[in-house]
Amino acid sequence: MPEVDEIFGSNVFNDSAMKARMPKPAYKALRKTIDQGVPLDPWVAEVVAGAMKDWAVEKGATHFTHWFQPLTGITAEKHDSFISPTDDGKILLEFSGKELTRGEPDASSFPSGGLRATFEARGYTAWDCSSPAFLKDRALCIPTAFVSYTGETLDKKMPLLRSMDALSKQALRILRLFGNTTAVKVTTTVGPEQEYFLIDKEMYDQRKDLILTGRTLFGAKPAKGQELEDHYFGQIKERIAAFMEELNEELWKLGILAKTQHNEVAPAQHELAPIFSSTNIATDHNQLVMEYMQKVARRHGLICLLHEKPFSGINGSGKHNNWSMATSDGQNLLEPGNTPHENLQFLVFLMAVIAAVDDYADLLRAAAATPGNDHRLGANEAPPAIISIFLGEQLTDILAQLENGGATNSKQGGTLNLGASTLPPLPKDNTDRNRTSPFAFTGNKFEFRMVGSSASIAMPNFVLNAIVAETLSLFADRLEKAKDFDAEVKALVKEMARAHKKAIFNGNNYAEEWVAEAEKRGLANIRSTVEATQALRAPKNLALMEKHSVLSKVEMESRCEIMLETYIKTINIEALTMLEMAKRQILPAAVAYISELAGSIQGVKAAGLNADTGAQAGTLTEVSAIAASFQKNIALLEGKLGKANGMHGDSYKQACAFRDSVFAQMALLREDGDKLEAVVDASLWPYPTYSDILFNV
């Protein structure tokens, strides 16, 4: 493997590449646009385009593409060559500023949620100069936003960029009140940890459910799962280590700060964690991480599963979204310092986040809602669907002091003496971590642990940015009018601590008692994606997004419709796949085994033997009964699926039907299918079992 410092960022048109290839005036003008949001002059775009093209062609690129993130949740690209004809029948390799700054992909086949008619094809992509271009498969990829002909956003990048501007604007208002005159921008930063499964491709190819839906629709519990916890942080197998080594190399070439890799709790499950970067770049990078995980896995005869719950009964996969705020002059606004009780600026920003999460918990829950994540949220490895905040002992104690008159001290972590002369004393953090909390303060950032492993992190982060921007704007409105600033800040923090303490919970979020306690506190328990979508239609949430110009009312409504449509289509595909497997694979295997058992009994009798056929008869009775129930549930699922598909006109009611009727019936069919797997002769079973898949990588 080449030296990391040699390959890192080698396929990125990053700041050093720009600086080396562009005239100083153009470079400075571009930096001003990136750093301060100053509009880009057309002449600068021409210079950038020429430098970018030369750099890409030198590295073997023949094409360029506007790389964007439509509302499908994955990325999209349309490739054009650099070739332009000349009068003498030859070619030039050209790339103009116009081609750099604007593209025109067909928008008609992308989800729009009713924003446009299907016959309206025109859409525009606009260059996002804050996220550097990169090389992929001999193509120059230019990160862009995607909008309709009439200007509505059709992607995940545009609202994210808008939300970052909104938060920066409001955070700067607060900073100015605290006397900061040097910061010109506040940027939200994210480090998204990515969980995933790796399984053998030969096993995958035999499972129609994994191929079509990303998860197993049938599968009996194996004799061994994760109960020994021997996989977690265990030795990485050679085959997996080879995959990780190549993945790291590919990601480092793209300037992606892949830092940590390890085995996760479930067998065949792993995790990759990056170093923090700005939210926009982190979002682009996470899309590339998922793409390259799947691409590199296939080179090693593996399949990377990003579904939130590919295997029932063992841990699913999430994406822990570590979020913070940083100023252009080098401050982390969520860094408590050594004396957080005296750090009023920190307490204001901390309370802004707490108040935002409490007031807009429904919107934050919607931001993590997907059909796949419904299987995971509330299970033993994931936070529940109830939004609460973990602060830890130190900050909770400070807020309690503030509520009761004012904070005079803060608990310190101290030192751990390990009792062995060869081991040094360890400095102890001020608080433990809580892996069960959906929204946890972890030192100088918040970890939003509800995001699903296959999801784009764009929506969770534009929602976080927008709701915190709103709270900061309310704080700034109040503090800007204060005659005694310090006194007003203390009064504000005290009021917020009292008003929002109901959202703070440092205990076990998995406990049944917490569900009852959360209900007493008035915290919502939104259990499914279908319910969660309605947060996008709530008047207060519409007003918030419009106030900060993140999304208009029609853009919010379109996203609600797309989420409902996606839910309906996902469950429909899963049900159809389940029926095909049931009728063409499982039932024939069960019938073959029944025939084999019956033939065995008849053979013994025909031979006039006195052998006891009780075992065959008992098994025959058991398998026949399960198969009969299985066949009945097939018919019931077909009926319920047909009825749900026949509903038109109200996507919310149709989604409810798929959730309450179709999905519920799928669970009953699976129960019988898994029972058959446990008793039918293994040689007749039509596809690999959980034991085969999870322990044979």
pLDDT at residue number 382: 67
Choice between 86 and 511, residue whose per-residue pLDDT is larger: 511
pLDDT at residue number 637: 98
CA distances from 686 to 55, 359, 378 (A): 52, 51, 32
Where residue 3 falls among pLDDT bands split at 50, 70, 90?
confident
pLDDT at residue number 84: 83
Q: Which distant-in-sequence residues (6+ apart) come within 8 Å of 143 by Cβ?
A: 67, 68, 127, 128, 131, 132, 133, 157, 284
pLDDT at residue number 64: 95
Q: Is 42 exposed, middle or buried (0-12, 13-18, 19+ CB in 10 A)?
A: exposed
Residue among 277, 239, 240, 241 nearest 258 (CA): 277
pLDDT of 243 above 60: yes
User: Do residues 300 and 292 touch, judged by C-beta distance below 8 A?
Assistant: no
HEC string of 293-338 equals: HHHHHHHCCEEEECCCCCCCCCCCCECCEEEEEEECCCCECCCCCC
Q: Ranked by mean pLDDT, which of 68-72, 343-347, 683-687 comes out on top?
A: 683-687
User: Average of pLDDT values for 338-365?
Assistant: 91
Q: Copy the structure tokens of residue 448.
A: 């939003």
User: Do residues 392 and 406 touch, judged by C-beta distance below 8 A?
Assistant: no
pLDDT at residue number 233: 77
Q: What is the DSSP letter of 106?
A: B
Q: Copy the structure tokens of residue 19.
A: 């600086």
User: Do residues 452 and 308 touch, judged by C-beta distance below 8 A?
Assistant: yes
Where residue 418 falls among pLDDT bands split at 50, 70, 90?
very low
Q: In whole angstroms, give the CA distance from residue 377 to residue 369.
A: 9
Choice between 431 and 9, residue whose per-residue pLDDT is larger: 9
pLDDT at residue number 111: 79
DSSP symbols for 390-457:
E-HHHHHHHHHHHHTT---------EE--S-TTS--EEPPSS---TT-SEEE-SSSEEETT-BTTS-S
pLDDT at residue number 510: 86
Q: In whole angstroms, give the CA distance from residue 433 to residue 347.
A: 20
The number of beta carbons lying within 10 Å of the beta carbon of residue 544 is 25
Percent of the chain beyond pLDDT 90? 72
User: Average of pLDDT values for 634-647?
Assistant: 97
pLDDT of 207 above 60: yes
pLDDT tens track for 114-147: 776 666 667 899 999 999 999 999 999 999 999 9
The number of beta carbons lying within 10 Å of the beta carbon of residue 670 is 20
Where residue 232 falls among pLDDT bands split at 50, 70, 90?
confident
Taking the model in full, what pTM does it have? 0.94
Q: In whole angstroms, give the CA distance from residue 417 to residue 262.
A: 28
User: Do residues 379 and 372 touch, judged by C-beta distance below 8 A?
Assistant: no
pLDDT tens track for 322-335: 999 999 999 999 99
User: Do residues 8 and 252 touch, judged by C-beta distance below 8 A?
Assistant: yes
pLDDT of 169 above 70: yes
pLDDT of 380 above 70: no
Segment among 145-154, 201-210, 473-482, 653-662 with least mean pLDDT: 145-154
Q: In whole angstroms, give the CA distance from residue 311 to residue 621.
A: 29
The number of beta carbons lying within 10 Å of the beta carbon of residue 452 is 28
pLDDT at residue number 372: 95
pLDDT of 562 above 60: yes
pLDDT at residue number 602: 85
pLDDT of 2 above 60: yes
Which element (helix H / strand E) includes 187?
A: strand 186-192
pLDDT of 419 above 60: no
pLDDT at residue number 321: 95
User: Do residues 143 and 284 touch, judged by C-beta distance below 8 A?
Assistant: yes
User: Do residues 490 and 399 touch, judged by C-beta distance below 8 A?
Assistant: no
Choice between 224 and 293, residue whose per-residue pLDDT is larger: 293
Choice between 537 and 697, residue whose per-residue pLDDT is larger: 537
Where residue 160 falls among pLDDT bands split at 50, 70, 90?
very high
Where residue 432 falls among pLDDT bands split at 50, 70, 90?
low
Residue among 558, 533, 464 nearest 163 (CA): 464
Q: Which domains does the chain have, with CATH numbers?
A: 4-155 (3.10.20.70), 176-187+332-413+427-551 (no CATH), 194-215+231-318 (3.30.590.10), 567-694 (1.20.120.1560)
pLDDT tens track for 273-330: 999 899 999 999 999 999 999 999 999 999 999 999 999 999 999 999 999 999 999 9
pLDDT of 72 above 80: yes
pLDDT tens track for 506-523: 998 888 899 999 999 999
Where residue 218 falls among pLDDT bands split at 50, 70, 90?
very high
Give the largest Cα separation in the chain, rounded.
106
Choice between 109 and 44, residue whose per-residue pLDDT is larger: 44
Q: Copy the structure tokens of residue 275.
A: 């170093």
Tell how strand 83-85 and strand 194-200 pair up: unpaired
pLDDT of 428 above 90: no
